[in-house]
Amino acid sequence: MLPPHRHDSPLEAPLSLGDLPENADWDGRIAYLDRDGVLNRWKENYVNSPDDVEILLGSGKAITSLRGMGFRICVVTNQSPIGRGLWGHDVLAQINAKLQELLLEEDQGAEIDLILYSPYLPSEGSWSRKPNPGMLEAGRQIVDNAHRFPGKPNNLSYGDDWIDRPDESDSILIGDRKSDIIAAGRFGVKGILCDSESGISGVIDQILSDKER
Ligand SMILES: [Mg+2]
C-alpha cells in the first residue's frame, strides 16, 4: 500500500475542523475536490511553485457555498511531480498554502478542511492515486474521526480491509478528468465533471439547484 499524504500534517494526526457557517451541524456530506483544473488553473507542465498558482475565478465563492450547504471540503490531488523527482513535499506544501491563501482572499469563508495528495508515479500502481479511490477513503475516515473522536489519531483502512463504510450517496466529487470521475465511481460518490478552464464555478450553480430539490 502506498498511502496518500496529507498537507501540513502526518496522515494519522488528528484533524481539527473549523466551524461550518452559522455553526451548522454537519450531516456527513463531503465535497471531494480535485485541485488543478477545478480550483486553480491547470498547467501542462504542472504547477511547480507558489508563483504558478492562479485560482480560477469563483473558486473561493464556490467553496463557501458548499460549506454553507453543510459540506466538509476535502481536496484530493494526484501530484506525480514528486514521484518524478521534479520537486519535493516542501514545495507542494508551499503551493497548497498559496492556494488556500488565494481562495480566502477571494472569499473569507473558503476554508479547505483537508488536503490529501498522491505523490506517486502512475507506474507505481498506488491505491491512493486516482483513478483508484484510496485518497477518498482516507479523506472520509479522517473527517469522520475528527467529528466523532476529536483529538484521537487516525487508524486508516483501505479497500477490502475497510468495513462499515458510511453511505456516500449524498457526497460529491468534482474533477476535470476522467480519472476523477472513475475514482468517484469506485468509491461510490457522485462524480461531477467540470471544464478545466472554468473549474468548480462552472458547475456550482447546478449543484446548488440539485440540492434544493
Ligand atoms: Mg485536475
Query: What is the 58 CA–ligand 1 centroid distance (Å)?
Result: 16
Domains of the chain, each with CATH number or no CATH: 5-17+27-194 (3.40.50.1000)
Write down the mean pLDDT value for the chain.
96
Mean pLDDT of 194-199: 98
pLDDT at 1: 82
What lies within 8 Å, CB to CB, of 171 at 6+ separation is: 28, 29, 30, 31, 32, 71, 189, 190
CB-based contact 30:140 (threshold 8 Å)? yes
Residues constituting the chain = 213
* Catalytically active residues, by annotation: 34, 36
Q: How confident is the model at residue 73 (pLDDT cuts 50, 70, 90)?
A: very high
Q: Are 134 and 154 spatial neighbours (Cβ–Cβ below 8 Å)?
A: no
Per-residue pLDDT at 103? 98
Entry pTM: 0.97
Q: What is the mean pLDDT of residues 94-107?
A: 98
- For the cut 90, the answer to whether the pLDDT of residue 25 exceeds it is no
What per-residue confidence (pLDDT) applies to 111?
A: 98
Measure 81 CA to ligand 1 centroid, in angstroms: 14
Measured in Å, residue 160 CA sits from the centre of ligand 1 at: 27
C-alpha cell belonging to residue 122: 502512475
Q: Is 136 helix (H, G, I), strand (E, B) or coil?
A: helix
Question: pLDDT digits over 135-189, tens only?
Answer: 999 999 999 999 999 999 999 999 999 999 999 999 999 999 999 999 999 999 9
> What is the pLDDT at residue 198?
97
20: Cβ contacts below 8 Å, ≥ 6 apart: 26, 67, 68, 70, 72
> Residue 184: CB partners within 8 Å, gap ≥ 6?
32, 136, 173, 175, 190, 191
Give the distance (Å) from ligand 1 centre to CA of residue 133.
15
Predicted confidence band at 118 (pLDDT cuts at 50, 70, 90)? Answer: very high
Task: Please give the pLDDT value at position 210.
Answer: 84
